[in-house]
Amino acid sequence: MAQEQPASLAALTEAFARLPGVGPKTAQRMAFHLLQHDRPAAEALGRSLLNAIERLRPCQKCNHFTEQPICPTCLDSERDPSQLCVVETPADLLVLEQTQTFSGRYFVLMGRLSPLDGLGPKEIHLERLLERVAEDDAIEEILIATNFTPEGEATAHAIETVLRGRGLVPPRRVTRIARGVPVGGELEYVDLGTIAQAVRDRRTMQASEGEPN
Amino acid sequence: MAQEQPASLAALTEAFARLPGVGPKTAQRMAFHLLQHDRPAAEALGRSLLNAIERLRPCQKCNHFTEQPICPTCLDSERDPSQLCVVETPADLLVLEQTQTFSGRYFVLMGRLSPLDGLGPKEIHLERLLERVAEDDAIEEILIATNFTPEGEATAHAIETVLRGRGLVPPRRVTRIARGVPVGGELEYVDLGTIAQAVRDRRTMQASEGEPN
């Protein structure tokens, strides 16, 4: 007796449910919302999906998504060629860009080392990162900005080890973004591991605050 | 200095952000996830969106989405023609179907009365519901299954009033799904309004439980 859904509706709900964080109920709500209230949005989303997967490819230099062989950031001559920042994902790159504190170039790993999930050096494009560093004598510093999760830490450590093993560091430097109490953080509510790290990584205060280190 | 996103990526993120309950951060995560990890899913979603808006139209009888002029449920001769259940949305219809307690036909309002949001009788297709009832002498009972929200209650009341005003009820009956303590509910944790309603709507217990009323 249970009602059969039209095939195109069932297919749509199923496709929505493949999105991260979207279960069957939410998928159904999205499908019905678009069909009932916003068909132009449905069309826009449909077309932009097909358009995006057709046009977007990894940048040959930094691995970020781009419509050209090499992305505008890598080609931008106003960026500092001496600094290369390694991030896990495009989202991390965008967050860093929003802080406007880094003016060098990027390399996007598109993941993190996680052997249990089958993510090894190949999946994070480690060899391509090494080539990128080796072929560019302008690079003086590799700033590793992977997450402070166990996987992100392991990834940072592995990258540093390999860079040293291949003789790419030194002469270059490897740095890591600072770990510590977040801006606006109150010690009482910050986890103990973070506070311990902030104590270990304490730095000398300047008479007037200038550049760190 | 902030990085420009490729146009096709920006368009995709924007399109995702038009979905209900999806903000800019989630939209970005969805876009990156599909591009990085699941391009087939991106293509499936894109195609099924365009396919769905091209094919799905309201059923001429019940208003539910269908690929034919009249949906299979309305055409199904095994369904009880004497009962017509009025629901707010297709999602409500599907939930009712899953309970397997109703074997009649449906009418989907595709909304609820909500004058403050500009949703009046026209938006809930009230006139079409009246025609549907008037032209079908087989209908003996109209079961109103709108939500027990203020808008759903107002909608139920308005439908009942108009059905009586047009002389469609009686001879037919209008019924409303029962309000009360949910199955598995513990009185201590149920809101007072629901308990009060359950007391007012109390029913005589049969020696052995049969059909209600």
More confident residue, A122 or A208: A122
Tokens describing residue B112: 């609820």
Instruction: Specify the pLDDT at position A16.
Output: 94
For A110, the closest chain B residue by CA position comes to: B36
Q: Is residue A203 part of a domain?
A: no
- A96-123 confidence digits (pLDDT tens): 888 888 889 999 999 888 888 888 888 8
- A134-170 confidence digits (pLDDT tens): 998 899 999 998 888 888 889 999 999 999 999 888 8
Q: Domain span at residue B123?
A: 80-185+190-200
Domain at A110, CATH number = 3.40.1360.10
Chain A stretch 95-154, residues whose beta carbon is closer than 8 A to a beta carbon of chain B: 97-98, 100, 103, 110-111
Cα–Cα distance measured from residue A113 to residue A122, given in angstroms and rounded to the nearest whole number: 9
Percentage above 90 pLDDT, chain B: 42
Instruction: Specify the pLDDT at position A209.
Output: 52
Q: Is residue A157 part of a domain?
A: yes
More confident residue, B97 or B13: B13
Confidence of residue B209 (pLDDT cuts 50, 70, 90): low
- Are A63 and A107 within 8 A, CB to CB? yes
- Are B25 and B32 within 8 A, CB to CB? no
Q: Is residue A154 part of a domain?
A: yes
**In the predicted model, is pLDDT for residue B1 greater than 50?**
no
To the nearest whole angstrom, how far is the Cα of A202 from the nearest Cα of chain B? 30
**In the predicted model, is pLDDT for residue A3 greater than 60?**
no
Instruction: Specify the pLDDT at position B207.
Output: 65
Look at the alpha carbons of A23, A28, A31, A33 in this order and tell me if their dihedral is positive or negative: negative
Measured from the Cβ of residue A107, the count of other Cβ atoms closer than 10 Å reads 24
| Average pLDDT over every residue of A15-32 | 92
Instruction: Specify the pLDDT at position B3.
Output: 56
For B39, the closest chain A residue by CA position comes to: A53
| Average pLDDT over every residue of B16-26 | 92
Cα–Cα distance measured from residue A124 to residue A120, given in angstroms and rounded to the nearest whole number: 7
**In the predicted model, is pLDDT for residue A202 greater than 80?**
no
Confidence of residue A213 (pLDDT cuts 50, 70, 90): very low
| Average pLDDT over every residue of B119-138 | 89
Cα–Cα distance measured from residue A21 to residue A6, given in angstroms and rounded to the nearest whole number: 25
**In the predicted model, is pLDDT for residue A19 greater than 50?**
yes
Range in A42-56, B51-65, B184-198 the model is least confident about: B184-198
Instruction: Specify the pLDDT at position A176.
Output: 87
The crossing angle, in degrees rounded to 10, of helices A24-37 and A39-55 is: 120
Q: Is residue A7 part of a domain?
A: no
**In the predicted model, is pLDDT for residue B65 greater than 70?**
yes
* Burial grade of B28 (CB within 10 A; 0-12, 13-18, 19 or more): buried
Instruction: Specify the pLDDT at position A1.
Output: 42
The total domain count for chain B is 1
**In the predicted model, is pLDDT for residue B79 greater than 60?**
yes
Chain B stretch 61-100, residues whose beta carbon is closer than 8 A to a beta carbon of chain A: 65-67, 71-73, 78-79, 89-91, 93-94, 97-98, 100
Q: Is residue B206 part of a domain?
A: no
A180 secondary structure, DSSP code: S
Q: Is residue B42 part of a domain?
A: no
A–B CB contacts, 8 A cutoff, strictly below = 191
- B29 in reach of chain A (CB within 8 A): yes
Tokens describing residue A81: 């060629």
Beta-bridge mates of residue A107 = A86
**In the predicted model, is pLDDT for residue B213 greater than 70?**
no
Instruction: Specify the pLDDT at position B208.
Output: 60
More confident residue, A203 or B49: B49
Residues of A with CB below 8 A from B89's CB? Answer: 32, 36
Task: Answer yes or no: do B9 and A89 touch at CB < 8 A.
Answer: no
Q: Is residue B47 part of a domain?
A: no
Query: Within 13 A of A78's CA, how many CA atoms are on the CB side?
Result: 4
- B168-196 confidence digits (pLDDT tens): 888 889 988 888 777 777 777 778 888 88
Q: Is residue A212 part of a domain?
A: no
Percentage above 70 pLDDT, chain B: 94
